Structure 1
Amino acid sequence: MTEQNTRLGIWLMVATTFVFSLQDGLSRHLAAEYNVLMVVMIRYWFFAAFVVALAARQAGGVRAAAATRQPLLQIFRGLLLAGEVCVMILAFTRLGLVESHAVFTSYPLLVAALSGPVLGEKVGWRRWTAIAIGFAGVLIILQPGYGVFSPLAAIPLLAAFMFALYGLLTRYAARQDTSAVSFFWTGTTGAVAMTAAGIWFWEPMTAADWGWMALLCCMGSLGHWLLIKCYEVAEASAVQPFAYLQLVFVAILGVTLFGETVRLNVAIGALVVVGAGLFTLWRQRKVGASAPSSLPPS
């Protein structure tokens, strides 16, 4: 992979995080006015159309994209991501963008912690230490009093857990299915599930909010397209650290558009979590590079 491609990949990741931040801001606005399930349902309709259109342009068309060797796993992945989207948007409306994303940034640590039981990977003491430090950062963000957590704090934590599990299952599915197959099942399964759940909560939307909804759908598809292009031109391990910029972007949106505040404990805790996450990414990349020499993981 050339330096030029890596640089382009980094800029594509920055653009991806910015677009996804705008998507989260739009989701927060719409979910404050309408039922979360309805908002996610409409968003998934557009996402499924985007996935099908993308599959139709590939070799073999839609039939090839749908040809999975593990349908139950792919369906579960799709359901898991759809559920995570609902939970995270609910967190936006209860905790705000800033605090929700500050907690959600712990998901790479959860990926590292769960990679053993899910994928059979070995996690050494250095990464376990980073995981422990990262979750100390989460505690700083949540600022529990007398050992009692606010029930609202569990919402973004649940979303982080669901997204981490989704990511691990995606890696597991990649052992037999291509990324195009997994992407197709993610969009279509989610659309079916959200239609079954969200259609019961349909309510009329104003013309202005339909405009915001259309923009939300476009942002979602653009974000996924940018992410695909990002991983096409650069290694994931080289660009993944820049995904943390989403926390910066959503903080700016939260403060300027929604009147949120960045409390000192949230800023400090987020820095701890991000630092621990970057270390785990670095260790994973280093261990992966040294694997042929049979060095012990750490």
Structure 2
Amino acid sequence: MSARQNTTLGVWLMIAVTFVFAMQDGISRHLAGEYNVFMVVMIRYWFFASFVIVLASRMAGGLKNAARSGATKMQIFRGALLSLEIFVAIMSFVLLGLVEAHAVFATYPLLIAALSGPVLGEKVGWRRWVAIGIGFVGVLVILEPGFGVFRPEALMSVLAAFMFALYGLLTRYVARYDSAAVSFFWTGVTGAVVTTAVGVWFWEPMSAGDWGWMGLLCITSASSHFLLIKAYEVAEANAIQPFAYLQLVFASVIGITIFGETLRPNVAVGAAIVVCAGLFTLWRARIAAQRG
């Protein structure tokens, strides 16, 4: 298969990933609006961890090889961080809505660029710093602080974006020591332990219909990660990463059509600023990588 064919397939896989992620977020918003968010995330992680363990057991070396890490403590911290980020993100969907929560969450590539220096020791040029600054102007446009409509719960989306950006950087850090399969294993298992330690105290009965939605959430959670791994297998990350912003579009459509949310003008303008700034930082990162 040619490089062009690989990139094309990678793009389509990334589009599929963003659509499945958006569906996952919509289902999470529904379930967390009816039941305790800790329980919802715990059940989701039970399925995810089971999927990861089955996948690892069928690979060469089995579970022992999948669990062998050169950065075990960092893998545990990284997995715990992601599980806590999911708690925060889903609560922001419930309190703020999918449209506004995703508009703010779209800043995570900018945060990755900003934090790549102190966390990974990477050099960030002045052009990317300018883009990062412009992106956060977009966040201010979305949140409208000082105009009488700012809601403190909007900061949950900012926190979720920060946590996910740090998780992304730590994923790149542990990649220096471990394979993607090892990181995937620790993500699922650590997350299951953390969410169970919290969620088991918040168990409540769930209707038969919502168990169906819970099952679909579990399936989308596992399939989205599988598709994402495949996307990065067939194409370079910097070629397909810009298409990750389609999750904002898909999630907004779900929020408006299913949950009756509205797209306020300031949110649309702010999100456009954030996305343009993010795309610019990705482009500059690609140029820097090619020069390196």
Higher mean Cα deviation, 183-192 or 146-155? 146-155
User: What's the secondary structure of 1:258's corresponding residue?
Assistant: coil
Deviations 1:200-239 (CA, angstroms, capped at 9, x unpaired): 0000000000000000000111111111111111111100
Tell me the amino acid that sits aligned with residue 195 of structure 2. M
TM-score normalised over the length of structure 1:
0.96
User: How far off is 1:149 after superposition?
Assistant: 4.8
Q: Which residue of 2 aligns with 1:189?
A: 190
Question: In structure 2, what is the Cα distance between the partners aligned to 1:119 and 1:90?
Answer: 30
Aligned pairs for 1:13-92 within 5 A: 13-92=14-93
TM-score normalised over the length of structure 2:
0.98
Tell me the amino acid that sits aligned with residue 174 of structure 2. A
Tell me the amino acid that sits aligned with residue 38 of structure 1. M
Tell me the amino acid that sits aligned with residue 258 of structure 1. F
- Structure 1 gap segments, 5+ residues each: 292-298
Q: Which residue of 2 aligns with 1:125?
A: 126
Higher mean Cα deviation, 46-55 or 23-32? 46-55
User: How far off is 1:150 after superposition?
Assistant: 2.7
Tell me the amino acid that sits aligned with residue 158 of structure 1. L
- Structure 2 gap segments, 5+ residues each: none
Question: In structure 1, what is the Cα distance between the partners aligned to 2:207 and 2:274?
Answer: 40
Tell me the amino acid that sits aligned with residue 217 of structure 2. L
Q: Which residue of 1 aligns with 2:214?
A: 213
Tell me the amino acid that sits aligned with residue 245 of structure 1. L
Is residue 246 from structure 1 mapped to residue 247 from structure 2 by the alignment?
Answer: yes
Question: In structure 2, what is the Cα distance between the partners aligned to 1:186 and 1:100?
Answer: 24
Aligned pairs for 1:1-298 within 5 A: 2-145=3-146, 149-291=150-292
Question: In structure 2, what is the Cα distance between the partners aligned to 1:52 and 1:149?
Answer: 44
Question: In structure 2, what is the Cα distance between the partners aligned to 1:286 and 1:59?
Answer: 37
User: How far off is 1:146 after superposition?
Assistant: 5.4
Tell me the amino acid that sits aligned with residue 35 of structure 2. Y
Identity over aligned pairs, percent? 68
| RMSD between superposed Cα atoms in Å | 1.1
User: How far off is 1:57 after superposition?
Assistant: 1.7
Question: In structure 2, what is the Cα distance between the partners aligned to 1:231 and 1:71?
Answer: 23
User: What's the secondary structure of 2:258's corresponding residue?
Assistant: helix
Q: How many residues align?
A: 291
